[in-house]
Structure 1
Amino acid sequence: MKLTILGGGGFRVPLVYGALLQDHAEGRVTHVVLHDLDAGRLSAVARVLAEQAAGVPDAPEVSATTDLDEALRGADFVFSAIRVGGLEGRANDERVALAEGVLGQETVGAGGIAYGLRTVPVAVDIARRVARLAPEAWVINFTNPAGLVTEAMSRHLGDRVIGICDSPVGLGRRIARVLGANPKEAWIDYVGLNHLGWVRGLHVAGRDELPRLLGDPDLLGSFEEGKLFGVDWLRSLGAIPNEYLHYYYFNREAVRAYQQAEKTRGAFLHDQQARFYAEMRNPDAPALKVWDDTRAEREATYMAENRETAGAGERDEDDLSGGYEKVALALMRAIARDERTTLILNVRNRRTLSVLDTDAVIEVPCHVDANGAHPVTVEPLPDHATGLVCAVKAVEREVLSAADSGSQATAVKAFALHPLVDSVNVARRLVEGYTEVHPGLAYLR
C-alpha cells in the first residue's frame, strides 16, 4: 500500500513514519513517498527516517520527489501536511495581527484567516490533481486551518478527504486519565469545529463520568485544561473546552502575552527549525537524535504564552507527545482493512448539527470503516457554543469565497466578521498588511 506525504520535508513527518514502523499486519503501508518543494528539507527528513528504520526488517520503503504529479500517481492514501509560506509566513501572520492589537495565531482569528487565504488555493489544486491522478485515494488532511482546508478539498473530493487533529485526542486522553479511566474504553462526547469544540461527556460502561470531574474542584484543577481555564469557568460551562478556546475566552490576556513575548510562536519555530535543517547539512550529524532533541523542545513550549497567562505552569510530561500520527494510522487501518473504529475527525456535517448545512465540515466522533468516516448523531450545542460555531463557520465560508473569487472585499469581510477582530477598519488594514508580506495573496484584487 502506497502512502504519499505532502509536506514530506516537514519536521513532524518522522512521527508518522514512526507510527508506520509499529504496524506489521497484512495490508500495512509498504511504500512512503515524500513530496516537498524543498529538496534540502526532503533530504534531511529522509535521513531521520532511515535511522528510524534501522533494524526494522519490514520497514516501509521511502522515496522522495519534488514532482507532485509523480508523488500522487498510484497513491492509496495521501497525507497532506503542507505549510504554504513556510514558518516565515506564520511569523508574519502573527506580526501583522499583533501590530493591530489582535490575535495572530495560525488557526484562530486573524492569523488563521490569513493562513487560510493563502493555503486554500493550493489545497484546491492538490484536490483536483488527486481526483485526476489518484481517484481511488483517500486524503487525510492535517494542513491547517484543518477544518477550513478539509472543507475546501471536500468540494472536489467529497467524503474521500477527512481532516484529523490531535487536540481532541489529547483532551479526551487527559480527562480519562484524571478520572482513572482507560481512554480506549471511553466514549468522548465531543462536538464543534476544528480548534473550536467542547467535551460534554465522557462515558465509561454507559455512565457519564464528566459530572464527577466537574463536581470535584481538586480533580478538575489537576490537569492541563483545569489549570488553563480555571475551575470556576469550567464549572460554569459544564463542559471542557478544547485548549484553543482559551484564545476566545481570555483573548485580551492572550494578545497581551503574545505582544510581550520575546518571540512569537512562529518566530521561535522558524529559528528552531532553521537550526535543525542547517545541522542536517552536516553528513556526520546524528539525524534521529538531533530531530528528537528539537522535537522535545518544541513540544515543551507549546502554548507557553497561554499557560503563563493562566499561571498553569509547565506541561505535564504525559502531554509532550503529539498523537495525530496515531489518529492517521488508525484511520488508514480502518479504511484499508475494514477495522471498524471510532475517531474524532473533521468530516462533512450531513445532518449531525442542525444549525449547519450538510456540506459544512465539523469535528465530531465518527464511526470509520472501509467506506470512510460516518459522523455520529450528537445532541445540540448550548446557545453560547452554537453562536460561536455559526459565527466562525460563516467566516470560513467567506474565506472560501474570497479564495475562489479573488475578491479583496470578500477577504475584508472574512476578517471583519470574525469574533476576535473588533473593527472593519482593522480588517481593512489587516488585508493590506498581509498582502504586503505574502506573495501568495497577490491574487486578491
Structure 2
Amino acid sequence: MGTRLKVAVIGGGSSYTPELIEGFILNFAALPVTEIVLVDIPEGRHKLAAVGQLARRMIEKSGLPINLTLTLDRRGALLDADFVSTQMRIGMLKARGWDESIPLKYDMIGQETTGAGGMMKALRTIPVLLDICKDMEELCPDAWLLNFTNPAGMVTEAIHKHSTIKSIGLCNSPIAAYKWLSGLYNVPIDRIYCEFAGLNHLHWVGRIEIDGESKLEELLDSRGGYTAANIPQFAWNETLIKSVGAIPSYYLKYFYLHREMLAEQKTAAAKGESRAETVKRLEDELFDIYKNPELAEKPKQLEQRGGAYYSEAAVNLMNSLYNDTGDIQTLNVRNGGILDFLPDDACIEVNCKVTKEGPIPQPVSTVPASAKGLIHAVKTYESLAITAAVTGSRDTALLALTSHPLVDSANAAERMLAEMLEQNKAYLPKFFG
C-alpha cells in the first residue's frame, strides 16, 4: 500500500454509503483515501446517482483531495484498489421479501440471515462474491476485501475456502454493543472491553468490563440488553440469561424465544409490516432526503436502519490495517483452533488484534457450555450451505436446512426449499444451469 489509497465500494448505491464517506472524511489524516469508486449494477443506477451526488457534496464540503467516481464497471473499479468493501443485496429487497415470507408458510422463521431465509441469501450471494474475488485476484491481488454483505460469516468462510483473496467479515452488532454500553454507563467506548465468542449473528458476550471492573453480573440481572431496529423487542427470559452467564446476540432471540418470534413475524406479515416492507419505506425516505441539493452530511435518519454503524466498523478496520494499530476489534475470521470444538477452517466471530498483516484472533476465556452445541449445529449447517452455494446441489441444500436447529421437519423443508429455489431461479444459475 502506498500513501494514497484507493477504495472500491461494491454496492456503492447502498443507503449506508454516506456513513462510509463520512468515515473517510473524518479519518483522512490517518487513512489518506484519495480515490473512492462507488460501483453498482444497472438496476441500482438510480440509487447510485442519488448517493453519489450526496457523497460529492460531502467531499466538497470537507475540502479534502478525494476523487469520487460512480460506475457500473466493476472491473475498472477494482483495478489497483487497496481496499474493497462489499455491501451488496443480490435480488435487492424483493428477494429479501421472499426470504422472510416463504418460510412462514411452512411455520418456520423467515429472516434474511437466520434459518431458511438466511440460507437463500447465502445461495444467491456466495457465487457473486467469489466472482468478485476472481476479478480481484487478477486486478488487485494484494487488496483487503472487507465484507459486510450478509450472511457475513458464511460469505467470509466461502471466500477463505475458495479464493486466495485476503478477506475479513464485519458486523455492526459488536460496535452496537459498545455504543449501548457507552450510553448506559456514560463512558467513552475506549474505556469499555467486551469479549465476543461464537459465529456471526450467533455470539455471546462473556466479559464486559469498564476500566477493568466487571459489569457482567449486573447486566445479567437486567432483562434488556443491546438490540437493533430490525429485531422485535421481546425481553429475554431472566432465568435463562442468568443461567447462561453471558449476554446473547439479539439474533439469538430466534432460538431462545422461537415461538414468540415466529408468532410476531406472522402477525407483522399479515399486516403488511414485514421487515422487508419496513426497510423499503425507510430506504425510500432516505433516498428522498439524499436528493436534497442542500444536504452535505450524513442524515441522522440513517441510524434507524438495522445495519447502522456497519460503515463505521469498516473504516475503523481499514485504519487499523493500514496503520498497524494492534487494537482489538470483533471480526469474522478463520478459527484456527480458537474455538476448539469447531474445524480450523470455520469462520468465527471473536475479538482480534488488528495488524498490517491482518487480524490475529485472540484466545477466548469464556464460551458458555450451553452455547457450544448450538454453535456447532449452526456451523454444520453453514458449512453445508456454503457447499450447496458453490456446487448448486439441491441434496446438499436440503441437508443444510435439516441440520439447522430452526428447521423442524425434513418433509416441510423439502417443500419449502423447492418453492424458494424456484422463486429465486433468476439469481441461482448454479442450481438451474
Mark yes or no: TM-score above 0.5.
Answer: yes
How is 1:430-445 mapped onto 2 (pairs within 5 angstroms)?
430-438=416-424, 439-444=426-431
**How far did residue 288 of structure 1 move?**
3.8
Q: Deviations over 1:122-160 (max 9, x none)?
A: 111111211221011001000000000011112244572
Q: How does 1:27-426 map to 2 (within 5 A)?
A: 27-37=31-41, 38-58=44-64, 60-157=66-163, 160-175=166-181, 177-179=183-185, 181-214=187-220, 217=221, 220-221=222-223, 223-224=225-226, 228-261=235-268, 262=271, 263-274=273-284, 277=287, 285-286=292-293, 288=295, 292=299, 295=302, 298-299=304-305, 302=306, 322-379=308-365, 381-426=367-412
State how many pairs are aligned. 417
Identity of aligned residues (%): 33
2:14 maps to a residue whose letter is G
Task: Give the SS at the match of 1:144.
Answer: coil
CA distance in 2, matches of 1:322, 1:176: 16
Write the distance in 1 (CA, Å) between the matches of 2:379 and 2:202.
Answer: 10
Q: Distance in 2 between matches of 1:251 and 1:433?
A: 23
Please, what is the CA RMSD of the aligned residues? 2.4
Q: How far does residue 96 in structure 1 lie from its aligned partner after superposition?
A: 0.8
1:377-412: CA deviation from partner (whole Å, max 9, x where unpaired): 113623321111111111111111112221111111
CA distance in 2, matches of 1:124, 1:346: 17
Asked if 2 retains the 8 angstrom alpha-carbon contact of 1:190 and 1:198, the reply is yes
Give the secondary-structure state (helix, strand or coil) at the position aligned to 1:362. strand
Secondary structure of the structure 1 residue equivalent to 2:430: coil
Contact 1:140 1:163 in 2 (8 A): yes
**Contact 2:16-2:311 at 8 Å conserved across structures:** no
Q: Specify whether residues 340 and 379 from structure 1 end up closer, same or farther in structure 2 by C-alpha distance, changes over 3 A only.
A: closer
1:21 aligns with 2:16: no
Match of 1:7 in 2: 11
Contact 1:76–1:138 (CA<8 Å) still a contact in 2?
yes
Q: Structure 2: give runs of 5+ residues left out of the alignment.
A: 228-232
Question: Which residue identity lines up with residue 87 of structure 1 in the other structure?
Answer: L
Unaligned runs of 5+ in 1: 303-320
Q: 2-side partners of 1:178 and 1:199: how far apart?
A: 16
Q: Is the 8 A contact 1:102 1:421 kept in 2?
A: yes
- Residue 318 of structure 1 corresponds to which residue in structure 2? none
Give the secondary structure class of the aligned counterpart of 1:42.
helix
CA contact under 8 A between 1:20 and 1:60: conserved in structure 2? no
Deviation at 1:431, TM superposition (A): 1.3
Paired residue type of 1:329: V
Q: CA deviation at 1:11?
A: 1.0
TM-score w.r.t. structure 2 length? 0.90
Conserved 8 A contact 2:384-2:397:
yes
- Offset from partner CA, 1:88-118 (integer Å, 9 cap, x none): 0001111111111111111111110110011
Q: Is the 8 A contact 2:182 2:188 kept in 1?
A: yes
Q: 1:172 to 1:273 in 2, by over 3 A?
A: closer
Amino acid paired to 2:266: Q
CA distance in 2: counterparts of 1:355 and 1:174, whole angstroms? 30
For residues 159 and 374 of structure 1, the distance between their equivalents in structure 2, rounded to whole angstroms, comes to 17
Partner SS state of residue 2, structure 1: strand
Q: Distance in 2 between matches of 1:365 and 1:279?
A: 36
| Displacement after TM superposition at 1:325 (Å) | 1.9
Q: Retained in 2: the 8 A contact 1:353–1:380?
A: no
Secondary structure of 2:161's aligned partner: helix
